[in-house]
Structure 1
Amino acid sequence: MRRLHAVALVAMVCAHAPAGAAAADLQWTQDPGSHCKFVAPASLTSGPTFWIGACVEGKASGEGMLRRRDGDKAGAAFFGRMKDGIPEIGVVDLTDGYRAGNFSDGDIGGQTESDPQNRIDAFRIAAEAARLISAKYAAEKNAGSARHYEELAKTLEQQTD
């Protein structure tokens, strides 16, 4: 009977692990300023990455943005939902297009045959995240950045049409 309980416990734990990899197998990094920890999608490439969003118990959580930076130059960005520092779903905005979907095997949207509804959900969540970033900048009286992220939210929403 004890063995059955142990097997059930292991099954429950595995069911809550992120798709594609155990949390311990992922490459963790942290925001250089806030020290909030997270796993960045591989398509962001390595380098200084900043999280704008909630940081619960030291880990990126909820909707927000991971932005790569090289000095004063902005790089690729992930807009989406994080849970316990690990991306769940969203969009990576690259210079040559988007990667959209769930986080799997270390990246966003790596599924070869992504479910169309999953892709739509990813863009909607990304648009919500961009609007949150816009509101943050508006509250800081940074009208230019607020406008930029509001326009980006509209562009992300249009990808679902």
Structure 2
Amino acid sequence: MQLECRISRKKKSSPGTGPGAAMLVALVLSSAPMLAVGQESGGGMKWSQDPATGCRFVAPSSLGTAPTYWIGACSGGKAAGLGMLRTRVGTTAGHAFYGELREGVPVIGTVDLDGGFQVGRFVRGDIGTRDTEWQERHDGFETALRAARAVSAHYAGQKNAASARHYSGVAKKLETQLEGD
């Protein structure tokens, strides 16, 4: 895309060529990156809904297609803040994402898979990439640790001691990952 802007120094400028036009072009160009981010976060992502609460979110693709539940805050109908996305098939718990969501979209965290952790930022529909930098991995585990502690506190507040203990154990496992950094 090529844009042309002419600034006329004549006293009388024709429409679309004066300093006002240049300011308008500068304003439009400066907001272009924000517009691109807005399009990326809205289009092309598959939105899911917690079957119990109705809270909406985008689940990392590594969680699979099973029904997914959100444990955390729900603001404006969308998952927000620290928490957990957990898949379930009947009464069997599946994979889990521990991390941060903003307006229903994951930001950073960890997916707890059978063979280990997938960690990092949310990129192209999933958490982490093969070439995730050390700092991003560290930040992902740190965010996941805080999220697991928040989930444990959530269940403790509901007087569900078994689940609170389980997620406290998850937090300890994540803390071990941080100590290994």
**% identical equivalent positions:** 46
Verify: 1:145 aligned to 2:163, yes or no. yes
Alignment of 1:63-82 (within 5 A): 63-82=82-101
Distance 2:98 2:72 in 1: 10
C-alpha deviation, 1:123, in angstroms: 0.7
Between 1 and 2, higher relative CO (CA 8 Å, sep ≥ 6) is seen in 1
Amino acid at match of 1:141: K
CA offsets 1:90-145 (integer angstroms, 9 cap, x no match): 00001111100000010001x22111011011111101111111111111111111
The CA RMSD over aligned residues, in Å, is 1.4
Q: TM-score, normalised by structure 2?
A: 0.82
Q: TM-score, normalised by structure 1?
A: 0.92
Distance 2:160 2:34 in 1: 45
Task: Name the count of aligned residue pairs.
Answer: 157
Verify: 1:9 aligned to 2:31, yes or no. yes
Gaps of 5+ in 1: none
C-alpha deviation, 1:13, in angstroms: 2.8
C-alpha deviation, 1:157, in angstroms: 1.1
Distance 2:55 2:35 in 1: 24
Verify: 1:113 aligned to 2:169, yes or no. no
Gaps of 5+ in 2: 1-20
Alignment of 1:22-101 (within 5 A): 22-101=41-120
Amino acid at match of 2:103: D
Q: Larger Rg: 1 or 2? A: 2
